[in-house]
Structure 1
Amino acid sequence: METRDQDLKKELAATLQARGELGAEYEAALIDSFLEKVDRRLDTTLDRRVRRQLAEQQVTVARGGRPAPPGSFGERHGLAVVSLVLAVPLSAIGAANAGIGGLVVSWLGIVGVNAFQAARGGRLFRRREDGAVRENDGMSDWSG
């Protein structure tokens, strides 16, 4: 993992050096290029984690065990963690553009999203089996 971090540091250093050589008119293009590399790195890391988690669940089921329940820690607290990470830039943008009122509105939005998730039992999305109606009652598949 440290090698990957070093690669990213080298990319950032190269981007900053290119910005110094090319000037401010190319700044947006250089930043976009660097962010695309970071995005690809995040996608690769996320894909690897998802594949590993799916493999672990398959091994658990194959051994006769049960997979982690749907309300596992990551699912229950994922949105809360993400919203706290995003709270910093949202607070800065709100406060910079609208002062204390913008800060209050941004935090009300953050609290509102987390309250909505908590009211749904900590799940972001309804699972098909949770919303499905029995086939023999003649109703649609979703109870909406």
Structure 2
Amino acid sequence: MDTRQDELRRDLDATLQARKELGKEYEEELVDSFMKRLDARLDARVERSVASRLDDYEPDHRDRDRRRSHRPWAPGRAGNRLAVISLALGIPLTAIASSPESGGFVGLLACWAGIIGVNFAAALGNRRDREERRPRGDWD
């Protein structure tokens, strides 16, 4: 039998012997005391188990990035929202900018150059943020 099991059995035997000596008046206190010791042992055992599993677990940031890259549009990502909004706003802006009063073809080019510029700047900013959050290795 395991030494922890032996200790637990000795504690239980001691509790039962104390109940015999002290009588039924102290039964509740003795059971509570034994249960507290048992809970403490279980808590320690769970903490050791969790700690050993956490030591074995080290997430790889490349795996996380690969999982994210398979989703073409994630509602929580700001870059995707900006792209969708700029495309939605691009339709009326194209109509306005391409009208003869607003410059025609030159207005159209200026409008889409601005939309592309905003999206490009946002993409560069997101890339820079990801690189700053990435853990550095010994060779970086």
**Same fold per TM (> 0.5)?**
no
Range into which the TM-score falls when normalised by the shorter chain:
0.3 to 0.5
TM-score normalised over the length of structure 1? 0.42
Q: Which structure has the higher relative contact order (CA within 8 Å, separation 6+)?
A: 2
User: Normalising by structure 2, what TM-score?
Assistant: 0.43
Larger Rg: 2
